[in-house]
Copies of this chain bind each other. A is one copy, B any other.
Amino acid sequence: MVETKRRHHMALRVGVIGGGQLARMMIAPAVELGLDIRVLAEGEGMSAGLAATAVGDYRDLDVVRAFARDVDVVTFDHEHVPQDVLRALVAEGVAVHPGPDALRFAQDKLDMRARLAELGIPQPDWAPVRSARELQDFLDAHDGRGVVKTPRGGYDGKGVRVVGDPGEAADWLDGLADGEALLVEELVPFVRELAQQVARRPSGQVASYPVVETVQRDGVCAEVIAPAPHAVERLTEVAEEIGVRIAEGLGVTGMLAVELFQTDDDRILVNELAMRPHNSGHWSQDGAVTGQFEQHLRAVADLPLGSTAPRSPWSVMINILGGPSEGSLGDRFESAMAAYPEAKIHTYGKDPRPGRKVGHVNVSGEELDDVVYTARAAASHFD
């Protein structure tokens, strides 16, 4: 724990930049751990509003500096705080977790690919491309298709296009400034997607969660099964080893999520990284001894990590997306709760909009079929 806070009656103050649902879901474990959680929110009425002590622009150094002054450690709801802001904080002695040297690899997919290559981590073939010519060369070498990504700012499927012709990325190519490039990756013939989560403390302790299977719909995480079904021991070990090597190799502090492809020839390739609690880990709130939000707080506060053991043989998480529908969200929560008393329904306090994540359902149990059925049936009240 940070030295200055060891006086027994003062709670360690954890400052979270960003007021979304990830910050919101840190509130519950912060209260139980006795941490004083404070949130710098983007505006009033944000998801994590209960803990918001400041409102302002996270790109403004003065705003972030003033917020950081009253906390013992700074962490994040998202990865969008600019490097220059982060580096200024660190230069002023603020504890920032994850720090800028790690976060840059979550902020820039080209930097990430280059660093993973240095570390020898298995990943799809990739290249930086600055022109239609370079993109065509890559496509020619990969059966004529590839995945083009903007290195920065993408999430939930945004900034990602599958292309068969450079013309399909012409707008992005035309928009490149000098020295900028797009990322192109091979279209991996995957049989399913997995996610590996690892927590790491500044002092070095690491804890891995069991690898999970994730199901994406329209580029958004829709469903997670924990642990991943049919995960032979070798797969579990490889996924964990990849997660730990990335956490240590990139110097991640807090929670790391590694999105993985499992190929038809049973290779495991790294798709994306996130350095914060992640949608693929929401199951752990109810399904693991230590949920990812508690673990993230322990890690960034440099407190001993908790057990990542599952509480039940199987857990399933299903996202609730807002959209045009009859009846209020409150009515839907109520009918789902009435029908499935074993379902854990988490709400984000957000107005529903089409495709917007407004909550999720966790169900745990002994039999995977039953757990999947119950989770889907409970979530169907929100369709």
Contact = CB atoms under 8 A, between A and B. Distances in A.
Top-6 shortest CB links A-B: A34-B347, A8-B328, A28-B28, A304-B338, A304-B337, A8-B329
Contact of A31 (B6, B8, B24, B351): B24
This chain's copy number in the assembly: 2
B333 A34 contact: yes
A382 to B, nearest CB: 11
A311 interface: yes
A33 B347 contact: yes
A352 interface: yes
Nearest to A24: B31
A34 B311 contact: no
Q: Which of A7, A289, A309, A351 has the most CB of B within 10 A?
A: A289
B8 A330 contact: yes
Contacts of A51: 50
B341 A306 contact: yes
A37 B29 CA distance: 16
A50 B31 contact: yes
A68 to B, nearest CB: 20
Interface of A: 1, 5-9, 11-12, 24-25, 27-29, 31-34, 37, 50-51, 207, 285, 289-290, 298, 303-307, 309, 311-312, 328-331, 333-334, 337-338, 341-342, 344-349, 351-352, 359, 364
Nearest to A328: B8
Contacts of A12: 330
Contacts of A50: 27, 31, 37, 50-51
Nearest to A350: B9
B32 A28 contact: yes
Contacts of A349: 11, 34
Contacts of A347: 32-34
A383 to B, nearest CB: 15
A8 B31 CA distance: 27
10 contacts: A1-B331, A8-B331, A27-B27, A27-B28, A31-B50, A32-B285, A34-B333, A34-B348, A304-B338, A307-B342
Contact of A303 (B9, B312, B334, B344): B334
Contacts of A309: 342
B304 A341 contact: yes
